[in-house]
Structure 1
């Protein structure tokens, strides 16, 4: 996905927040481009939910400057609220109302005309595959259906920026992947998603950029691939058709680890295109035939553990 370079959808500088003696955010800086998914990755207690609450005007920061959707958070909180939507860890769905009634209630809160509210509710029920369940009480919904309805309720106000705070916690794998597709569709329509998650696979699948949060500070930021390349352990595995090819490659690639049984070499590499071109070029210059080549890079599990260490008993969930 192409990252759009324009005025940030979210920009925070020097964000600080403490609760008593506990420092939760310690000089947090963020820059989120519009029409992208930005994921804040961290263990429980790292400050993810506090960040969302500040950026969505639910609590105030102790210090720092924030712009959301082009509006100053401190001076224009009402304008920020009008431009955003928030879906928290726990569903805001009213169990006593039907799915359609929940959406119509949100339409009333957004002061939409009755006809427009009904049109929007019908469209959202269709979009989130809830049309058949729309007339049933939300108490009868599965976990995945409730999360879809919760996000649909967020969209009634047509927000430009949506905060998703651990939106798939507790969902089964199928429901999680359905939610991922919904997020992709929203971003394709120009919406900016600020996603907090403990699920490493979720950040890897969805995020254009990832910030790793530890003890209230961003300790690394980049694309998933950029973060993975920062961690040692990446390598290229080369397999050869015969021992002669293996011997010839070993002479050229002296730093490689040899596996005689598999007729393979393991060559340290950061997985970048430049390093691969250099490796292939060295082999090609000597007409050394490679039967199979595969690139192995550290995953986000490795990234998270390397960047945050064992400073917390809470770990992100490697699903």
Structure 2
């Protein structure tokens, strides 16, 4: 049975109880739901992994965890389309159900992210593309982006660097065996690592926020006036910021509203987001525009947030019948 056939032979509700075995499984139910629906509707590349097979083994349970399934070679989950035709072969001692196998496949697929957007961002981070984008954003939003020195005055940013330093020291204690490394080298390497860590965190911070702002102001066509650059620039200096992208995978415009309500009410889309301020952008295609009922989603997302909550509506013809919500939640 192929990876695609496994997904098509179980419903997501059968998988839900099993996802809680994974780290943060309950908190990410909505993300797993979107990934499941995306993969079920994705057309596989016929020649990609067709002649390859993955053998599944059982790792016995112990006092700390239940039994789990292991793959001898995980399908190429960073290119999901290439892996759907790969055969999954079960070892004779495997007694797991299709739902268990499907749950582990989804977990493997989410290693780099739950959406194409997250996977692409992770790829850019690993290849150094973040640095290239940083210089581009510094050029475009020069007067709105704080310097590294200014960022270090932001409590949350400074505390994150301190945590990284503490973790680093736990693996690299100051007192080493004599002769292992001269003290002057330790100090020099330590300063180098600290500067590198600050630059990495700064680059990641500006890239994610700059990408969100660029999407609101540049990509697609705004149907109502979007927030101004002055209003959006608060993200660069925010203490905490959580950027999300959610999309329906119904392939039917009439079902978009119900799909998002299920994500919110049934699959816990919002409980982990407690930041009081937000920017929300709803995008649909020109052929399947936003309907009045779907505007209620903004009210559901904002909920009881007491801060500044601004939203805009855009057209993006790449969406077809789907609806996408880009949101940034933050504290000043």
TM-score normalised per structure 2: 0.24
Higher percent of residues as strand: 1
Give TM-score, length-normalised by structure 1: 0.24
